[in-house]
């Protein structure tokens, strides 16, 4: 498989900790402790994959860790092997601060075996206390039910914590050292596209790269792209996509010849946008060695509006096809590109993608439709999940074609990792989409938008990262479902805004309290004009990840039993866990500061 980024994929390091007393105690535990490490490694490699579909790689310390010397030996091995995630496992008492992982930037978890023969739980409590005292937050894993000594099975509740921790920890490790690439600058005064380099550096361990939009123009005009790939891509688009109705007034419609040139430019922009992110060896063959190297960008953002789109075709097709799980070259992991260079939504896309390995839906949080308003406009009140009202998610660009909901499992709409998507599902996603000539009211330079409607009854999570002066970054989360409206209602409501854009009707799960008192409250408390929609109810994974970055969560509807944060968070209070989260994040500060 072709390596996408310059950095190697981070590995998971397993640290088998042991009671260091020789002449009987340690010797009796060696086999059991190392077996626990191998069972953990096997479970993770069989269950988790990286974004590229490869099983995660696990490194186990060469020896059990009974004290400082072996802890350092393990740390050195992990450094050489590229370990980015640390999991300590033990069935027994060990010497806490002597055996702990001291790397300040590596997310850490400790699984203390719940057994009565040897006090693994005592070590867990001791070493977590050491982590907290030293300011190195760690996640505790302790099974609810007592197991017999030597039992190598991993209980279900332990599995859940191992997976929740490891998925989030791998995101932290994968983002470290990557770039956010701004193509252009601030779009229409949108705060999220005022890129805060201190945030990227101190919280995420990422660097910021920036180019002017004229670089895109230079590559278009000088042919700095693979012409063979463009020819292939153009034929693929012409064969597979339907061009829908042009909604523009006759005065503002572009000629058919001009629209065809717009389509060609849009495809070239997609190729160039990808090349800007990760490079393209074929450019070196054309003499463009510098351009061939790319920016090692995990995320990019395209300003587009207005300076570019007032004169050139918009970036909607580029954003949509890059964010999708497939293109003319076949199925592959999405390339994350944020509309309007909204870097904070771009980061949220990275969170969602790396947690789930699926494409993300970038959208405006456009309109709250109350039942009363729906009935006034359509003549009938909404029913089912939509009966309490819903939110219209809509944006001209960046909504991945996976968002059509045309992938399925057992007949139910889903979003899948690219390696699970069938060729038939790719065709269905495209068939459910129309390329629509762009509204020249918004985009004077023409171009194409993608028009589709997301299928209903999908469990989804919307999320958004915001930055508040004096507070820093905060994350908000809303789990819920997509819904479908009847054709009459859909057309009437969709036509009230730009109907050439992808539409998702979203209903949050309500708790009857705070921001989730009702659907209106969710809309009213949303922190910005954009959100990211991920497949599945994955809010708990977002919360765990946010705690690793020391980003507090100001709004969520995740059940309390599913919230999993480092042990230290409990020391800031257990009855008001939202405030405890704020306190812990403030005290520990950004991960890389």
Contacts of 177 (CB under 8 A, 6+ apart): 7, 205, 206, 207, 296
Catalytic residue among 262, 319, 364, 451: 364
Alpha helix ranges (H) inside 48-119 = 68-81, 96-99
Q: Whats the size of the chain, residue-wise? A: 593
E strands, 376-421, where? 390-394, 407-409, 412-414
Three-class DSSP category at 480? strand
Binding residues for Mn(2+): 340, 364, 530
Is 371 exposed, middle or buried, given 0-12, 13-18 or 19+ CB atoms closer than 10 A? middle
Q: Evaluate whether 299 touches 262 at the Cβ level (below 8 Å).
A: no
Annotation marks residue 160 as catalytic: no
How far apart are alpha carbons 552 and 534 in whole angstroms?
20
Pairing of strands 108-112, 434-437: unpaired
Per-residue buried b or exposed e for 533-569, using 16+ beta carbons within 10 Å of the residue's own CB: bbbbbbbbbbbbbbbbbbbbbbbbbbeeeebbbbbbb
In angstroms, the first-to-last Cα distance of the chain is: 35
Catalytic residue among 246, 316, 319, 340: 340
Is 444 exposed, middle or buried, given 0-12, 13-18 or 19+ CB atoms closer than 10 A? middle
How far apart are alpha carbons 298 and 323 in whole angstroms?
12
Annotation marks residue 340 as catalytic: yes
How far apart are alpha carbons 94 and 18 in whole angstroms?
5
How far from the centroid of its chain's Cα atoms is residue 531's Cα?
12
Three-class DSSP category at 484? coil
What are the residue numbers of the active site? Answer: 340, 364
């Amino acid at each position: 498989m072709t390596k996408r980024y310059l950095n190697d994929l981070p590995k998971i390091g397993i640290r088998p900790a042991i009671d260091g007393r020789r002449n009987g105690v340690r010797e009796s535990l060696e086999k059991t402790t190392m077996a626990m490490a191998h069972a953990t490694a096997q479970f993770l490699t069989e269950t988790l994959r990286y974004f590229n579909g490869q099983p995660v790689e696990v490194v186990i310390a060469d020896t059990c860790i009974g004290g400082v010397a072996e802890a350092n030996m393990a740390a050195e091995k992990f450094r050489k092997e590229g370990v980015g995630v640390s999991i300590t496992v033990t069935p027994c008492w060990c010497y806490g601060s002597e055996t702990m992982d001291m790397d300040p930037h590596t997310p850490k978890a400790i699984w203390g075996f719940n057994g009565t023969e040897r006090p693994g739980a005592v070590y867990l409590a001791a070493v977590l206390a050491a982590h907290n005292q030293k300011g190195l937050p760690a996640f505790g894993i302790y099974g609810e039910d007592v197991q017999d000594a030597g039992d190598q099975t991993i209980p279900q509740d332990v599995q859940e914590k191992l997976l929740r921790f490891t998925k989030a920890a791998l995101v932290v490790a994968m983002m470290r050292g990557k770039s956010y690439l701004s193509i252009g600058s601030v779009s229409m005064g949108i705060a999220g596209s005022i890129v805060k380099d201190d945030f990227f550096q101190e919280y995420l361990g990422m660097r910021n790269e920036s180019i002017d939009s004229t670089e895109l123009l230079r590559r278009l005009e000088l042919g700095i792209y693979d012409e063979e790939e463009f020819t292939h891509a153009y034929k693929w688009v012409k064969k597979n996509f339907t061009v829908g109705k042009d909604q523009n007034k006759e005065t503002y419609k572009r000629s058919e010849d001009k629209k065809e040139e717009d389509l060609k430019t849009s495809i070239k922009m997609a190729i160039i946008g990808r090349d800007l992110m990760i490079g393209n060896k074929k450019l070196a063959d054309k003499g463009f060695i510098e351009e061939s190297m790319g920016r090692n960008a995990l995320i990019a953002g395209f300003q587009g509006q207005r300076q570019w789109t007032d004169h050139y075709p918009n970036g909607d097709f580029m954003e949509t096809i890059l964010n999708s799980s497939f293109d003319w070259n076949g199925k592959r992991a999405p390339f994350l590109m944020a509309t309007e260079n909204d870097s904070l939504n771009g980061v949220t896309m990275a969170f969602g993608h790396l947690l789930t390995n699926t494409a993300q839906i970038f959208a405006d949080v456009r309109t709250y439709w109350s039942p009363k308003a729906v009935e006034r406009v359509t003549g009938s009140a909404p029913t089912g999940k939509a009966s309490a009202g819903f939110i219209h998610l809509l944006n001209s660009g960046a909504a991945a074609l996976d968002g059509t909901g045309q992938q399925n499992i057992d007949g139910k709409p889903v979003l899948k990792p690219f390696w699970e998507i069938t060729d038939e599902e790719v065709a269905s996603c495209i068939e459910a989409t129309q390329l629509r000539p762009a509204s020249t009211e918004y985009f004077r330079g023409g171009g194409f938008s993608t028009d589709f409607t997301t299928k209903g009854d999908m469990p989804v999570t919307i999320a958004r990262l915001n930055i508040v002066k004096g507070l820093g970054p905060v994350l908000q989360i809303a789990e819920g479902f997509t819904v479908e409206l009847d054709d009459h209602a859909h057309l009437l409501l969709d036509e009230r805004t730009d109907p050439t854009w992808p539409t998702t009707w979203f209903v949050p799960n309500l708790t009857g309290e705070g921001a989730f008192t009702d659907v209106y409250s969710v809309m009213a408390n949303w922190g910005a004009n954009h959100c990211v929609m991920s497949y599945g109810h994955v809010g708990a994974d977002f919360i765990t990840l946010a705690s690793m970055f020391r980003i507090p969560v100001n709004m969520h509807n995740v059940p309390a039993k599913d919230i999993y944060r480092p042990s230290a968070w409990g020391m800031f209070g257990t009855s008001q866990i939202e405030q405890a989260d704020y306190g812990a994040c403030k005290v520990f500060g950004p991960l890389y500061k």
